[in-house]
Structure 1
Amino acid sequence: MRAYELREEDPEFEGLEIVERERPEPGPDEVLVKIEAASINYRDLAIAATEFGYPGEEYPMVPLCDGAGDVVETGADVERLEEGDSVVAPFFPDWVDGPGTPEKTHTATGGNRPGTLAEYAVFPADATPRMPASLDYEEACTLTCAGLTAWTALEEHGDLTPGESVLCLGTGGVSTFALQFADAAGATPLVTSSSDAKLDLAESRGAEVTINYEENPEWDEAVLEATDGVGVDHVVEVGGAGTLERSLGAVRYNGEVHLIGVLSDPEADVSPQPVLHKASSVRGVSVGSRAAFDRMARAIDANGIEPVVDRVFGFEDARAAYRYVWNGEHTGKVVIEV
């Protein structure tokens, strides 16, 4: 089978190469999936460009965690799935349900387990979710990481309810899904970006307040102004330490900051004083379980949510797709046809 191997860390992504590999065979409790489409997350860029490693990770490795396709073979003990089922790759192949644990989250697709940038991949059947019925492969392949992370933050952890407010930092994959889930739930989405064009797109997708953080560097004050001095119920915090201080300023008393990303200055110092003063919560989010994915899939089908696919690249153009995301030219997700 054709597959990409990542052979070394390289910010120019020259370490990505197409190779021929043996098609994997499913074990007794596994399924073999013919991958139709895969998509890129910032986590995948970090693995390719920096020393962002997982325990047991070795080069060469097959990258990417996002993928969708069809089951073409099942192991002898598999009962939950059958040949012909359309499925999505699991981010954590050992996390089926319940809260995350070190054991459930030790192994990650496209990290220390072969990923989805290949014609075929093997996954444990119990951890592999079915595709939402309303989506095609290119849409469904965006859900493994970004979609499920946003869902876990707002619904599994945050118990998002109509009338609450959600601040989405930026217009990347996680933030765009958070905007869509908030809008579908009857909440009020607020979106920040440095691009007015991207903010216009966010507004067309349901954002009720948009803030250009280049024009408003103290964007937490702009959030307070937009919420009559109260602040937001939820912040989907994809920036990390470099933006966390302003997120704490923007959240309301007893509000929640869902800490997801590390896109900004990881060395920034953040005072815990706003957390104490507002009795707010800061909680890390690490994607989610297959059971959480199933709940998200039902919500996607019920609400007609369509993942935002910015651009689709051909298989041979995977390096260009990586660079496109690295340069921040996209909104939503970038997909590679397999």
Structure 2
Amino acid sequence: MKVYRFDRPGSLEHLTLHDEATPEPERGEVLLRVRASSLNYRDIAMIHGTYLRGQQTGLIPLSDAAGEILAVGKGVTDFKVGDRVINTFHPRWYGGDPPSTLGSESYGSHRDGWLTELKVVSQEAVIAAPPDLSFEEAATLPCAALTAWTSLTGLRALRPGQTVLTQGSGGVSVFAVQLARLFGARVIATTSSAEKAARLKALGADEVINYVETPAWGERVRELTEGRGVDRVLEVGGAGTLAQSIKAVASRGEIALIGFLASDTVDLGFNDLFRSGGIFYRISVGHRAGLRDLVRAITASGLKPVIDTVFPFERALDAWRHFDDRAFMGKVVISH
């Protein structure tokens, strides 16, 4: 079988194609024919050395995939040959509080990921794919869609009529716009161009703020909410956007800390956090039970993931380069 591995860290040019032996499923395992995989910001961060959890060298990259089951090991009862599945981002977080090993078992950083033709995993590490989505669409769900879902269900599930703030037009933020509408929420989005603003509105955003033209967008959010602020912020920028998110959040509103896209540093003190009245917590994508809830919601609603570009398996490096340009909207997918 063909697999991609990062033979050395530090450069996309070190992503090389290898021929390796076909794996065999053991008891409780399934063998998958991977049909599509998708990229997330963490995949670029690992190349640039900015991934916060570190990574091992020599691994197969990517954390998200969809495929079909080619064979099952003894004792497998959940799936049969031919079933369409997607993987769980955390292979051993099934529900409830995360296990203590959560950060040391991630695909692409601490164990082999999904940029491969075939893969063996435990039957608990996959769930049934939404029946109405293509493999390419289904491969966008394990990280970005589940992160958005977990952020919106949060410490307290989002309620109809509440207001959500999203940032930019990457995978998590686009899914958040779509999913927040399913919850009956009002959505305020930020972006950098009129073209992306129009597309975000078409997806369901009620208001869009151009953060280039309005760098103090936290104050603009306050104006749009009659001084109250938003009930939920999906904070994907990190240090470079957190100060504005704090200005935008309502008292007792939630700020879900997700990413670190904006690398600018900002001097935040205790008084800034205290005055905000917000609730801050980190999102680590989500668990298997949450992914199953998400799939049910997508299936019932007919929601379709937004895919920017699909690249063939043999052009995986081009997919990475396109993703690294940061000009895309939604998800970048590799079709196997």
C-alpha distance in 2 between matches for 1:72 and 1:26: 10
Once the two structures are overlaid, the 10-residue window that deviates more, 137-146 or 1-10, is 1-10
Question: Structure 1 residues 147-156 or 170-179, which shifts more?
Answer: 147-156
**Seq. identity, %:** 40
CA contact (8 A) 2:66 2:85 kept: yes
Q: Report what 2:3 is aligned to.
A: 3
Deviation string for 1:35-72 (max 9, x for gaps)? 000010000111123263757x5321100011000111
Query: Aligned letter for 2:129?
Result: M
**Alignment match, 1:292:** 290
Alignment of 1:12-31 (within 5 A): 13-31=12-30
Instruction: Please name the residue that 1:34 is paired with.
Output: 33
Q: Distance in 2 between matches of 1:81 and 1:334?
A: 28
Are the equivalent residues in 2 in contact too, given 1:95–1:105 (CA < 8 A)?
no
Give the Cα–Cα distance (whole angstroms) in 2 for the partners of residues 233 and 304 of structure 1: 26
Contact 1:62–1:118, Cα closer than 8 Å, also in 2:
yes
CA displacement, residues 284-319 of structure 1 (integer Å, 9 cap, x when unaligned)? 000111111000000001111101001101112111
Structure 1 gaps, min length 5: none
Residue 245 of structure 2 corresponds to 247
Partner AA of 1:9 in structure 2: P
- Contact 1:156-1:292 within 8 A present in 2 as well: no
Amino acid paired to 1:30: E
Q: Which region of structure 1 is more displaced relative to structure 2, 85-94 or 21-30?
A: 21-30
Give per-residue Cα distances to partners, 1:256-306, cap 9 Å, x unaligned. 000000111264332232432242101100011111100000000111110
Instruction: Report the CA distance shift for 1:226/1:201 in structure 2 as closer, same or farther (over 3 A).
Output: same
In the TM superposition, 1:155-234 aligns within 5 A as 155-234=153-232
Q: Whole-Å Cα distance in 2 between the matches of residues 9 and 270 of structure 1?
A: 33
Q: What CA distance in whole angstroms lies between the structure 1 residues aligned with 2:280 and 2:154?
A: 15
Pairwise CA distance, 1:27? 2.6
Once residues 51 and 23 of structure 1 are traced to their aligned partners in structure 2, the CA distance between those partners, rounded to angstroms, is 33
Q: Distance in 2 between matches of 1:136 and 1:156?
A: 28
Q: What one-letter code is carried by the residue in structure 2 that aligns with 1:335? A: V
> How many Å apart are 1:133 and its aligned residue?
1.7
Q: Which runs of 5 or more residues in structure 2 are unaligned?
A: none
Corresponding position: 1:108 with 2:106: yes
Cα contact 1:88–1:144 (8 A) shared by 2: yes
2:241 aligns to what SS in structure 1? helix
Opposite residue 295 of structure 1, the aligned amino acid is D
Residue 14 of structure 1 aligns to a residue whose secondary structure is: helix
Which one-letter code corresponds to 1:310 in the other structure? D
SS at match of 2:298: helix
- Residue 266 of structure 2 is matched in structure 1 by 268
Tell me the equivalent position of 1:47. 46
The one-letter amino acid of 1:329's match is A
2:75 aligns with: 77
Q: What SS class does the counterpart of residue 157 from structure 2 fall into?
A: coil
Q: From 124, 132, 135, give the equivalent of 1:134.
A: 132
- TM (norm. structure 1) is 0.95
**Amino acid corresponding to residue 135 of structure 1 in structure 2:** L
Contact 2:88–2:291 at 8 Å: present in 1 too? no
Contact between 2:243 and 2:266, CA under 8 Å: does it hold in 1?
no
Contact 2:37 2:65 in 1 (8 A): yes
Aligned partner letter, 1:52: Y
Counterpart of 1:5, as a letter, is R
How many residues are matched?
Answer: 336
Cα distance change on mapping 1:119 and 1:8 into 2, 3 Å: same
Partner of 2:91: 93
Runs of 4+ with deviation above 6 angstroms:
none
The two structures, once aligned, show a CA RMSD in angstroms of: 1.5
Query: Which amino acid in structure 2 is aligned with residue 226 of structure 1?
Result: L
The alpha-carbon distance between structure 1 residues 246 and 202, as it changes in their structure 2 partners (threshold 3 A), is same
Letter in structure 1 aligned against 2:66: A
Output the amino acid matched with 2:319: A
